[in-house]
Structure formats: structure tokens, C-alpha cells
């Protein structure tokens, strides 16, 4: 059978999509042992996991980009989950990092705006997960800043305020939320979760992956595997199994 004929007979294969939208902690999530790579492995043949992390970005910039990533005409209905993971840059101290800093109230408004946009293209609240920034280990991040000739430009208490704002937006908008800032500090020294005081270590990636999977598993585990298991393909008439 010619390929064109096979294509005409068979339905277009469309993988559902999980969209990871965030800053560098999302961009780096497909590195070895990364939390995004973990999700992609768990969901292989069920969903495409799309990395849309953009290092250094804040919510002020992100809200401008989101409508360019997802529109109704680009099959928003095929998106089964979206994570929105910003705040590590928004919470930078204004006087030391004015380019990335976003005021707390604007940060909350930007998150809400992004959730409302997703709802406007028919991505329902139950498919949206907000993730708070992780806690900041100040001494380690100060070393990273000094190595670049900068002063310590973030503090954990401020990051915590942004995390609380993220949780509040999720509550108001009816979405799920992963409060990484609180969970990582619960009854433990959180420094091992971070590689440089800000970004996630292997342990931090594993922690986030487990926490996120516990929220996604119920939504996504029932999705069928795409295409039959190879032993189930009728080798004498593969068209009957595959088209």
C-alpha cells in the first residue's frame, strides 16, 4: 500500500499535550534527571510533554507570550495539562535587580491573567497547575551572584511572599497549586534541593517530579497508550491494527 493511501485511510495520530510553561527551572527540566524528563518518560506514548521554559523570564513577559503558545486554532482541546511556574525572577529585589523584578501585586495579577486566558481558550481550571517558586538558599545564591560580580539580589522571605500570592491566585481561580516553597522547607533543611541556592539539584528535581506526578497521575494515568502493543499487532494484516 502506498504511504499516501495509508494516510488517507488512517486517522491522523494526535498525541495529547502537557505544556510546561515557566522560567529557567522549567527550561532546565529536560536535563538529565530533570523533573520534565521524568514526566515525559512516565507519559511516553500517552502525551507529548512540551518544554516551554524560558530562562530569566518573569510573569510580565510570560503573559505576553502565552497567547502565542496556545490558541483555540492550535488545538487547545488537545492540551490535557498546563503548569505555570514563575516567581523566582519576579521576586528579585527591585533595587538590585530591577530588570527581572515584578511587584508582588502585579505578579499575582499576571498569574491570574494567564489562568483567565487559558480558560478563555477552553482549557479548564482542572487542567491548570500553578507552581510556586522554590525557597531560596541565600548563602549559596550569594556565592553565585558574587561570582558574576553581583550582590545578593534575592531573599527567601520575599520569595515566600510571592509563593503565598501564587497559592492565593490558585485558590481564587479554582486551579491546583504545588506550593514548592512550603513543601521543601517542611521540617527539613532544604539546601540539598538546590544546586546553587536558586535552581534545583538532582534531589530537588526528583522532589518536584514526585509532587507534580501525584497531582497529574489521576488526570493522566487513564489516558490510553497510543497504538497497540507490538505483540497485539496482526502481523498478517497490520492495516487492521494500525489504521
Residue 233 located in a structural domain: no
Q: Which of 70-79, 167-176, 181-190, 213-222 bottoms out in mean pLDDT, i.e. has the lowest?
A: 70-79
Domain membership flag for residue 128: yes
Place 20 in a pLDDT band, splitting at 50, 70 and 90: very high
Q: Is residue 198 included in any domain, yes or no?
A: yes
pLDDT at 13: 84
Alpha-carbon distance of 91 to 217, in angstroms, equals: 30
Percent of the chain scoring above 90 in pLDDT: 74
* pLDDT grade for 7, boundaries at 50, 70 and 90: low
Q: What's the pLDDT at 9?
A: 59
Identify the weakest region by mean pLDDT among 8-12, 68-72, 214-218, 239-243. 8-12
User: What is the structure's pLDDT at 216?
Assistant: 93
**N residues, the chain:** 243
Kindly tell me the sign of the dihedral angle through the C-alpha atoms of 182, 187, 191, 193.
negative
Measured CA to CA, the distance from residue 107 to residue 202 in angstroms comes to 28
Structural domain includes residue 235: no
Cell numbers found for residue 178: 504545588
Residue 148 belongs to domain spanning: 17-217
pLDDT at 5: 58
Q: Are 83 and 19 in contact (CB under 8 A)?
A: yes
Question: 243, 10 in Cβ contact below 8 A?
Answer: yes
**Residue 24 catalytic?**
yes
Catalytic residue check, 196: yes
Q: Are 200 and 145 in contact (CB under 8 A)?
A: no
> Residue 1 pLDDT more than 60?
no
Catalytic, out of 192, 196, 201, 206: 196
Number of domains in the chain: 1
Question: Is 4 inside a domain boundary?
Answer: no
Q: Tell me, what's the pLDDT at 10?
A: 60
Q: Answer whether residue 42 is part of any domain.
A: yes
Flag whether 225 is in a domain: no
> Cα separation of 61 and 100, whole Å?
10
Q: What is the CATH number of the domain that holds 163?
A: 3.40.50.1110
Residue 51 located in a structural domain? yes
* 189 catalytic residue (yes or no): no
Confidence (pTM) = 0.92
Q: Active site residue: 29, 90, 176, 199, which one?
A: 199
Amino acid at each position: 500500500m502506498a504511504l499516501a493511501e495509508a494516510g488517507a485511510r488512517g486517522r491522523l495520530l494526535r498525541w495529547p499535550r502537557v505544556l510546561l510553561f515557566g522560567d529557567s527551572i522549567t527550561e532546565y527540566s529536560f536535563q538529565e534527571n530533570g523533573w520534565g524528563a521524568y514526566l515525559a518518560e512516565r507519559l511516553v506514548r500517552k502525551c507529548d510533554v512540551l518544554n516551554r521554559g524560558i530562562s530569566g523570564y518573569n510573569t510580565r513577559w510570560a503573559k505576553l507570550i502565552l497567547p502565542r503558545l496556545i490558541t483555540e486554532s492550535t488545538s487547545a482541546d488537545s492540551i490535557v495539562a498546563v503548569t505555570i511556574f514563575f516567581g523566582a525572577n519576579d521576586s528579585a529585589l527591585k533595587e538590585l535587580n530591577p530588570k527581572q523584578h515584578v511587584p508582588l501585586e502585579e505578579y499575582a495579577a499576571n498569574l491570574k491573567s494567564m489562568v483567565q486566558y487559558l480558560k478563555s481558550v477552553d482549557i479548564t481550571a482542572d487542567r491548570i497547575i500553578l507552581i510556586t517558586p522554590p525557597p531560596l538558599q541565600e548563602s549559596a545564591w550569594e556565592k553565585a551572584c558574587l561570582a558574576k560580580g553581583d550582590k545578593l539580589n534575592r531573599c527567601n522571605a520575599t520569595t515566600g511572599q510571592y509563593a503565598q500570592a501564587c497559592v492565593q491566585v490558585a485558590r481564587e481561580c479554582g486551579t491546583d497549586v504545588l506550593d514548592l516553597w512550603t513543601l521543601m522547607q517542611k521540617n527539613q533543611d532544604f539546601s540539598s534541593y538546590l544546586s546553587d541556592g536558586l535552581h534545583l539539584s538532582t534531589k530537588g528535581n526528583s522532589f518536584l517530579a514526585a509532587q507534580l506526578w501525584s497531582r497529574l497521575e489521576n488526570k493522566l494515568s487513564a489516558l490510553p497508550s497510543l497504538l497497540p502493543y507490538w505483540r497485539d499487532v496482526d502481523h498478517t494484516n497490520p492495516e487492521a491494527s494500525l489504521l
